[in-house]
Amino acid sequence: MGSQSDWPTMRHAAEVLRELEVPHEARIVSAHRTPDRMVDYAKRAADRGVQAIIAGAGGAAHLPGMVAAMTVLPVFGVPVQSRSLSGLDSLLSIVQMPAGVPVGTLAIGRAGAVNAGLLAASVLALQDAELQRRLAEWRQARTDAVADAPMDLPD
């Protein structure tokens, strides 16, 4: 992610990966404040055994695209909700990649972070039958949690 301030959003991706028992790491790698760190991270990721990258950033959110420019690993971009434009700026910055450098862009905020974790896990599960089973269980648990009818809850 681009900043410590992105962690309250991006921790949801980490949480899903933890629930699915997918080894992962969380790093602050800013495209504009720590550009050398970003280049180093993106260029070395594949050699370190990283299989997918989830890049979350807000505002002028160039991090996912810059990372995607330096690796052929799948890169999933999470637009973090910004203060001034509610994340629309982040979304448009991440989603509008020119042809040839793909970033799989998710929804703004928590939903995007959760789904980025699930999507990354789905990619890894193509080569991992046990992970595929855990993913199916995770999804089934959400299905089972949906009540048939609504109930009255205290306001």
30 is in an annotated binding site: no
Stretch that binds ligand RP5, among 1-9, 108-116, 129-137, 140-148 (CB under 6 A): 1-9
Tokens coding 90: 């982040």
- Helices (DSSP H) in 45-105: which residue ranges? 63-69, 88-95
Q: Which of 3, 51, 122, 132 binds ligand RP5 (CB under 6 A)?
A: 3
Residue in 20, 42, 59, 67 binding ligand RP5, rule: CB under 6 A? 59
Structure tokens at 125: 């599960």
Please name the residues in contact with 95: beta carbons below 8 A apart, sequence gap of 6 or more: 77, 79, 103, 105
Task: Select the span of 54-62, 98-106, 119-127, 143-151 touching ligand RP5 (CB under 6 A).
Answer: 54-62
Q: How far is the CB of 116 from ligand RP5 (least distance, A)?
A: 14
Considering only 7, 26, 30, 95, the residue that binds ligand RP5 (CB under 6 A) is: 30
DSSP for 100-116 reads: TS--EE--SSHHHHHHH
* Burial degree of 96 (CB within 10 A; 0-12, 13-18, 19+): exposed
Q: Judged by CB under 6 A, does residue 121 bind ligand RP5?
A: no
CA 132/CA 95 separation, integer angstroms = 28
With binding defined as CB under 6 A, does residue 122 bind ligand RP5? no
Residues 71-100 that bind ligand RP5 (CB under 6 A): 80
Q: Are 55 and 75 in contact (CB under 8 A)?
A: yes
Residue 5 assigned ligand-binding role: no
Q: Residue 33, annotated ligand binder?
A: yes
Q: Provide, rounded to whole angstroms, the least separation between the CB of residue 102 and ligand RP5.
A: 20
Q: Which two tokens stand for residue 119?
A: 């999507």
Provide the binding-site residues for ligand RP5, judged by CB under 6 A.
2-3, 5-6, 30, 57-59, 80
Q: Which residues are annotated as a binding site for substrate?
A: 3, 6, 33
